[in-house]
Amino acid sequence: MLQTNCRRLGEAPLWHFHHPGRRLFGSCPARRAVRTPYRDLVLRAKQQPEGSPEMDMVERMVSFFFPKALSDPAPMGLKRINFDELPDQYCEMDERAPPVPGDERDQLVVAVRPLLARTQLQGRSLKCVYDADVDGWSPSAFHSKVDGLGAAVVIAATTGGAVLGGYNPEGWIGLGEDRASNGAFLFSWPTGQLSKPGFKLAKIGGPNLAVIDNPASGPQFGADGLTIPLKPRGQERLAKSKLGTYYSRLPDGGRSLFGREDDPKRAELSFLKVYVADARGVEWKLEGITWKSTVVD
């Protein structure tokens, strides 16, 4: 990586300015240096110390014009965003979250726990707040149990044996808002073998419509990623899934969360549950016209 130091033309520069408004270009030995209005300003390249983080093009430009800016944790009074410290800023695809004491009491929590790396729920005990078989297969029953509780994990199983669901970083409040998030994701075990790693499918196409919070419907991820309307009567257990528009496809190109024994577009659920953090509460902030939630210990 390159850093810049000013030198006089007697030192055989590596780079120099040729003309106002022109880009930088490779130079030749000092005897061939071009005499320009910038003849006294020369940029020499120097290797960064071993182990220094690699800078992109923008950072290199900033380091030239404002050499102290990159080392200042709050340049011009603006605090830097550290994406490694803030949960749910993106969908972590490589790191696995470690287990939390108490997970072993619920095999569904054990299975989904590794997928929660860099989310609000990493490192937090989970509790089941909605069980459709107990609380009812209806939108009103669903929202009465999950609204206002913050980040949540939806876990369901099909009659064909697949286990699937999604993570909603923003939670539900039942006000008809479309929840935007880059940290939302879907997941699936098409064969239902929870002892094996599940497929984690990130939000694509930007953060918009990550979750549709409709008070008259059940959980919905994207316009078509995973939809569980919990209606009409007689079809409360039906779910739909279409991948590739709002959420990534399966590694083999599959466009459905469901298993081989299910209809790829519509499947019947054998159970539906929602888990949230077993925490003191949730802090809500209004950002623009959308409420954002943060789990509070």
Assess contact for 245 and 223: CB atoms under 8 A.
yes
Cα distance between residue 212 and residue 206, in whole Å: 15
Cα distance between residue 165 and residue 156, in whole Å: 6
Q: pTM above the 0.75 mark?
A: no
Per-residue model confidence (pLDDT) at position 75: 60
Residue 279 pLDDT class (50, 70, 90 cuts): confident
Q: Which tokens sit at 139?
A: 């939108």
Choice between 7 and 100, residue whose per-residue pLDDT is larger: 100
Per-residue model confidence (pLDDT) at position 287: 56
Over residues 180-193, the mean pLDDT reads 97
Q: Which tokens sit at 251?
A: 């590694």
Dihedral pair phi/psi, residue 172, rounded to 5°: -115, 145
Q: Does residue 139 carry a pLDDT above 90?
A: yes
Per-residue model confidence (pLDDT) at position 85: 64
Longest dimension (CA), the chain: 87
Choice between 69 and 214, residue whose per-residue pLDDT is larger: 214
pLDDT digits (tens, 9 = 90+) for 63-107: 666 666 656 656 655 555 555 568 899 999 999 999 999 999 999
The percentage of the chain sitting over the pLDDT mark of 90, rounded to a whole number, equals 62
Q: Does residue 29 carry a pLDDT above 60?
A: no
Q: Does residue 42 carry a pLDDT above 80?
A: no
Cα distance between residue 126 and residue 104, in whole Å: 11
Q: Does residue 219 carry a pLDDT above 90?
A: yes
Per-residue model confidence (pLDDT) at position 1: 43
Look at the chain and count its residues. Answer: 297
Choice between 231 and 34, residue whose per-residue pLDDT is larger: 231
Cα distance between residue 112 and residue 149, in whole Å: 19
Q: Which of 224, 222, 220 has the alpha carbon at shortest distance from 255?
A: 224
